[in-house]
Structure 1
Amino acid sequence: MHMTAAGKWRPPLWLVLGGALAVTLALSYAGLVALRYLGPEIGFRRAALLLGAGIALATLVLALLLARLLLRPITALAQAARAIRHGAPPAPLDHYGTQELRALGASVLDMGRVLQNREATIRSFTDHVTHELKTPVSAIAAAAELLAEGDLAPEDRRLLDQISGANRQMQAQLAALRAVAAAREPAFQGQTDLDSMAPALRAAHPGLALQIAGGTVALPLSAAGLRVVLDQLLGNAARHGAGTVRLTATPGRLVVTDDGPGVSPGNRDRIFAPFFTTARDTGGTGMGLTIARNVMQAHGGEISLLPDGPGASFDLRFPD
């Protein structure tokens, strides 16, 4: 016997399923027996109609009971899972049903709570690290600017240029870390299409010729969220020498293909790894594709590299 904290008894799943099967068999057997004895008394046609109505009513009651104990809590759990995925805090379910469904619901809610706490911890740690490093990095930049105004020997000037370049790289990495942490927050709910985003994308990436197919297809990510992903992909394409990028949208999918040199076979398995880049000299931080992947995953989607060439081709898949 299982009681909840409020003292409400919940049947085990085996009892619900076993009871449903037993009632179904009992109704069938009782109908045959009743028809055998009622038929000669009131007529087989009338007895069949009466028994059919009784069995239908009993079946309806059984169906309502199963819906209450199984369908309703499963539906409530699915709704809670969708809400957690969209950033809502885990909340107790209104309906739990059987003991097993109650345990499952509690486990799902606890898992959602743990994952949200983990994301908050990562964001807090990232904010702390970037804040602590911001002061010394700014101090180095200020010192480098002061030194640059002086009369330096050529070798000292080269060293100062290296210090300034390293400082800019550190600032870019810190900004990328903040962007990665922010990208994992599911805050870009909604939908958009490529036609509405095209003017802003062309203005942000004037060195690329954008070709758009399926521009009116609704993609299940807000314009701000999709802009984060596409800015990373288009920025990568430009840094690697691409001149044209084609965006092809179909329901639930977006393919982004450029005419650059593509990704070498040795790098294909590493391009989504944090801090991996082959364009550090041209401003690459190695976090662009990580940010794009985080945004997609935080909203139930995925991004992958397609084998098609000769340029780089990325496949963005959105949830149904």
Structure 2
Amino acid sequence: MTAPKVRPKWRPPLALIVYSVLLAVMALPILIIIWFRATETTSIRMTPAEVGALVVALVLTLAVAYVLARTITGPINALIARTDEIARGGKTAIRPLESYGTREIATLSQSFLDLAGKLVDRTEYVRSFAAHVSHEFKSPLTAIRGAAELLRDDDAEQPMTTAQRLRFLDNIIADAERLDILLLRLRELAQAELPMAQGETSVEDILPMLRKRFPGLEIFGLGDTQTAVALPFEAAGIVFANLAENAAQHGATRLDLAVAADVRTVTILVRDNGSGISEGNRERVFQPFFSTRREQGGTGMGLDIVRTMLGSYGGAIRLEQTAGTGAEFEITLPLRA
């Protein structure tokens, strides 16, 4: 979810409020002394002037208390109550306060709203991710268990044929390989969530690895391929290998990496000549576990890993519109520091 924004308007800084309160408090005894010296009375009973001075002091004290409550203690207490409500699972509590008082409290509240929104998103992501992972693992595990039970319970009087036995063993091997792929993707996702050591690389550095790993693809680097970006070699390998694998699974035979750099960022267009992405699937390609090539070994985690990895290093990826066949992704990354 998108965290609500604090309404921007001028608010006094906290220092101004504190200094004003201190000056007001310091002014109270000075005003009283000046008042009594100006009236100079020896009567035991309080004169109207003395009563007036006490009333003024009381009014000023109440005014100071109101200012402090309105600008500091009230918003802070409301923020504390809102935090407790969110901690108890109150998602509807993620909304702006009615009053912020000072500029600093407004900034603090906005940071709180942003953090609360991210925590809610992360909680929902983890819940959905756990459900998808359990589903993805359940299918091959169930198939392996079923095949193993059939092999174990083979009837000695009517044993299965060699072809049947080999078919069950092949199914077990294929499902085990799928589990290996899922575990590899989970490790890559963990690396994407927790950035590796800082480093830099270029498309020119990545091309030999991609060509060796995907011999069925003609991979070309175009433009400023020697420009280094703020992405370590291992992270860059994960990003572009996932994009190349995605292209290969969609029948591509050619992959182009076109690089263009400006003052601060590098843009890399990754284009293939595969079957492309249908209009109905464009909004879903970055969703975890969404795949249209599950039969060919697709896990639906590749593009989510790419987006997460790039985000960890200040980059981004988006799917571009293509006129003909194939798919095109635009990657933006900061230049090396």
Using structure 2 for the length normalisation, give the TM-score. Answer: 0.53
CA–CA distance in 2 between the matches of 1:208 and 1:231?
12
Matched residues in 2 for 1:101 and 1:184: separation? 31
Runs of at least 5 residues in structure 2 that lack an aligned partner in the other structure? 1-12, 21-101
Quick one: distance in 2 between partners of 1:193 and 1:315?
A: 16
Q: Residues 28-39 of structure 1: matches in 2 within 5 Å?
A: none
Offset of 1:294 from its aligned partner? 0.9
Give the equivalent residue in structure 1 for 2:199.
190
- The whole-number CA distance in structure 1 between the counterparts of 2:110 and 2:290 is 36
The answer as to 2:268 corresponding to 1:259 is no
1:161 Cα deviation (Å)? 4.2
1:254: how far off? 0.8
1:236 to 1:190, Cα distance in 2 relative to 1, 3 A = same
Counterpart for residue 231 of structure 2: 221
Contact 2:141 2:175 in 1 (8 A): no
* 2:19 paired with 1:11: no
Q: Matches of 2:169 and 2:198 in 1, distance apart? A: 46
Cα pair 1:12 1:100 within 8 Å, conserved: no
Task: Tell me if structure 1 keeps the 8 A contact 2:14–2:103.
Answer: no
Higher mean C-alpha displacement, 270-279 vs 160-169: 160-169
How far the C-alpha of 1:234 sits from its partner, in A, is 0.5
Task: Summarize the Cα distance change of 1:145–1:217 in structure 2 as closer, same or farther, 3 Å threshold.
Answer: farther
Matches within 5 A, 1:233-312: 233-251=243-261, 252-308=266-322, 309-312=324-327
Give distance in 1, aligned partners of 2:16 and 2:212.
Answer: 61
1:179 equivalenced with 2:188 (yes/no): yes
Q: CA deviation at 1:315?
A: 0.7
Deviation at 1:260, TM superposition (A): 1.2
**CA 145–260 in structure 1, closer or farther in 2 if over 3 Å, else same:** farther
> In structure 2, how many angstroms separate the alpha carbons of the residues matched to 1:261 and 1:203?
23
Instruction: Tell me the distance in 2 between the aligned counterparts of 1:269 and 1:158.
Output: 38
SS at match of 2:15: coil
Distance 1:248 1:156 in 2: 50
- Structure with higher Rg: it is 2
Deviations along 1:153-188, one digit per CA (max 9) or x if unpaired, are: 356654554454344333422332332233121225
Q: How many angstroms does 1:306 deviate by? A: 0.8
Tell me how far 1:146 sits from its aligned partner. 11
Task: Rate the CA distance shift 1:199–1:109 in 2: closer, same or farther, 3 A.
Answer: farther
Distance 1:270 1:118, change over 3 A: closer
Asked if structure 1 preserves the Cα contact closer than 8 Å seen for 2:143 and 2:172, the reply is: no
Are 2:271 and 2:326, in contact at CA under 8 Å, matched by a contact in 1?
yes
How many residue pairs end up in the alignment? Answer: 224
Once the two structures are superposed, residues 204-257 of structure 1 have per-residue CA deviations (whole angstroms, 9 ceiling, x without a partner) of: 222211110121122221221111110000011112221111101112211100
The verdict on how the C-alpha distance between 1:212 and 1:15 changes in structure 2, with shifts beyond 3 A counting, is: farther
Q: Provide the rounded CA distance (Å) in 1 between the counterparts of 2:187 and 2:120.
A: 17
User: Do the aligned partners of residues 266 and 140 (structure 1) sit closer, same or farther apart at CA in structure 2, a change above 3 Å counting?
Assistant: same
* Cα distance between partner residues in 2 of 1:103 and 1:12: 15
* Partner SS for 1:248: strand
For 2:331, the equivalent position in structure 1 comes to 316
Q: TM-score, normalised by structure 1?
A: 0.56
Aligned position for 1:231: 241
User: Is there any run of 5+ residues in structure 1 with no aligned partner, and where?
Assistant: 1-8, 17-98
Report deviation, 1:297.
1.8
Corresponding residue to 2:103 among 100, 103, 108: 100
CA contact (8 A) 2:271 2:328 kept: yes
Structure-2 change in CA distance of 1:13 and 1:247 (3 Å): farther
Q: Deviations over 1:79-98 (max 9, x none)?
A: xxxxxxxxxxxxxxxxxxxx
Give the match for residue 152 of structure 1: 160
Backbone CA RMSD of aligned residues: 4.3
**Residue 189 and residue 172 in structure 1: after superposition, are their counterparts in 2 closer, same or farther (change >3 A)?**
same
Q: Check if 1:169 corresponds to 2:178.
A: yes
Q: Secondary structure at the match of 1:212?
A: strand
Query: CA–CA distance in 2 between the matches of 1:306 and 1:194?
Result: 20
* 2:211 paired with 1:202: yes
Counterpart AA for 1:235:
E
AA partner of residue 310 (structure 1)? T
| Kept after mapping to 2: 8 A contact 1:245/1:257 | yes
Q: What letter matches 1:267 in structure 2? A: N
Aligned to 1:11, the other structure's residue is in SS state: helix
Q: Identity across aligned pairs (percent)?
A: 34
Distance 1:140 1:262 in 2: 33
